[in-house]
Amino acid sequence: MDKFETLLLFTRIVELESFSQAADQLGVPRATASNAIKQLEKNLECRLLERTTRHVRTSLDGKAFYERCVHILSELDDAESSLRHTVARPRGILRLDLHGAHATRIVLPNIDQFHRSYPDIELVISSGDRLVDLVREGVDCAVRAGKLHDSSLMARHLATMPQVICASPDYLGRFGMPQHPEELMAHQCVNFFSTTGGVNYSIELIINGKKQAFSPKGWVTVNDAENYVICALRGAGLVQLPRYHVAEALADGRLVEVLNAWQSPGMEVSALYPQHRQLSPRVRVFIDWLLSLYSATFAAEK
C-alpha cells in the first residue's frame, strides 16, 4: 500500500474501531491492512493502535496522528475536487458535529433527503456534549445554537428559534403559576451551564422593548438539553428553551407554558466551519441544505 492508502486505512480503522471492517470498506485483505499498520508504526517508531480481541483503540500518539491524518486527507480531497470540477456533483467524506436535539430532532430525521440529493458524499457524524475543535480534529461543519464564541470560525445563520418558558404541572401545583416576570425570583429553575465557560444561563424576557435577565435559584444544574427537559418534566423547576424541543410535551400537557404574555428572545442557530473549508463543495451544499431544512422547520413558528 502507498502512503496515501495507508493513511486512509488508518483513519478508517480508528473510526470503525475494527481492522476487518476497515479492510472490507477499502477492499483490501485483512492481512494486508494489518501489515500496513505495523509498517506505519515501525516507520513512525511509536504505537498508534491498542489492539484487544474485541476492540481497536488509539494510543495517545495514535489520537494525535489521527487528527493530523484527517486534516491532511480532507485537504487532499478538496484539492482533487477542485480539479475534477465536482461542484455540481460533490463527492468525498464530510465530517460533521451535531449536538443534542439538533441531531435527533431536526437533521438526522431528514438526512436521507440529503443523501438522495448527494449520493457521492459520505457522512461521518460525531455527537455529544464535548466542545469539538473543528480545525484540530478535522471537522468540516458543526451546528451550534446560542452565542458564538470562536471568532476564528466562519458562521452562517440558519434560523432564529422561538423560545418558551415552561414547567411541569406538578411543579406549578407546588409553587403556583407566575403571573408577572417579577415573580420569577420566588420560583426555582433548572440551571444550565456551558462546558466552555461554566456560566449558568439566565431566563430572559423582553419587557418594554428591552431584554431583561432573571436568575432564580435552583437545586439542579445540567449542561445537556435532553437532561434539561427531563428535569423539567420531573418537577425540578422552570426551564426556557426552543419551543420545538418541548412541542409534544406542551401539546399533551406534560409541560405548561408560563408568562406567555411576555416574549422570550429567540435563540440563534448557526452552521460553523473552518475558514479553509469555505470553498469546499461538500460543505457548501450541506450548509445550503441545512438552511433550507431549518427555514422550513421554523417557518411555522415565526
pLDDT in tens, 224-254: 888 999 999 999 999 999 999 999 999 999 9
Question: What distance in Å separates the CA atoms of residue 165 and residue 203, rounded to the nearest whole number?
Answer: 8
Of 108, 161, 134, give the one whose Cα is nearest residue 268.
161
pLDDT number for residue 56: 87
Q: Which domains, and CATH codes, for the chain? A: 1-78 (1.10.10.10), 85-159+267-302 (3.40.190.10), 163-265 (3.40.190.10)
Sort strands 191-192 and 239-242 into parallel, antiparallel or unpaired: unpaired
pLDDT number for residue 130: 56
Question: What cell numbers appear for 60 in the block?
Answer: 495517545
Cβ-based neighbour number of residue 68 at 10 Å: 12
Q: Are 101 and 127 spatial neighbours (Cβ–Cβ below 8 Å)?
A: no
pLDDT number for residue 172: 97
Q: What is the pTM of this model?
A: 0.68
pLDDT in tens, 88-119: 678 888 989 888 788 888 999 999 999 999 99
Distances 54 to 5, 10, 19, 20, 50 between C-alpha atoms, Å: 24, 17, 11, 11, 11
Residue indicated by cell numbers 457522512:
123
Residues in contact with 16: Cβ distance below 8 Å, sequence separation at least 6, in sequence order = 22, 25
pLDDT number for residue 177: 96
Question: What cell numbers appear for 92 in the block?
Answer: 468525498
Question: What distance in Å separates the CA atoms of residue 81 and residue 69, rounded to the nearest whole number?
Answer: 18
pLDDT number for residue 82: 60
**C-alpha angle 279-282-285 in degrees, rounded to nearest 5:** 90
pLDDT per residue of the chain (302 residues) written in tens, 0 to 9: 788 889 989 988 888 888 888 888 788 898 999 999 999 999 999 999 988 767 788 998 998 999 888 888 877 776 766 655 555 678 888 989 888 788 888 999 999 999 999 999 999 888 765 556 676 667 888 898 877 766 667 889 999 999 999 999 999 999 999 999 999 999 999 998 876 555 567 899 999 999 999 999 999 999 888 899 999 999 999 999 999 999 999 999 999 999 999 999 999 999 988 775 446 788 889 999 999 999 999 875 55
The amino acid at 30:
R
Question: What cell numbers appear for 215 in the block?
Answer: 436568575
pLDDT number for residue 151: 63
DSSP string covering 199-251, please?
PBPPEEEEETTEEEEE--B-S-EES-HHHHHHHHHTT--BEEEEGGGGHHHHH
pLDDT number for residue 203: 93
Question: What distance in Å separates the CA atoms of residue 142 and residue 138, rounded to the nearest whole number?
Answer: 11
Question: What distance in Å separates the CA atoms of residue 141 and residue 153, rounded to the nearest whole number?
Answer: 10
Helix (H) or strand (E) holding 159: strand 153-161
**C-alpha angle 102-295-259 in degrees, rounded to nearest 5:** 70
pLDDT number for residue 113: 95
Question: What cell numbers appear for 174 in the block?
Answer: 407546588
Question: What distance in Å separates the CA atoms of residue 161 and residue 286, rounded to the nearest whole number?
Answer: 20
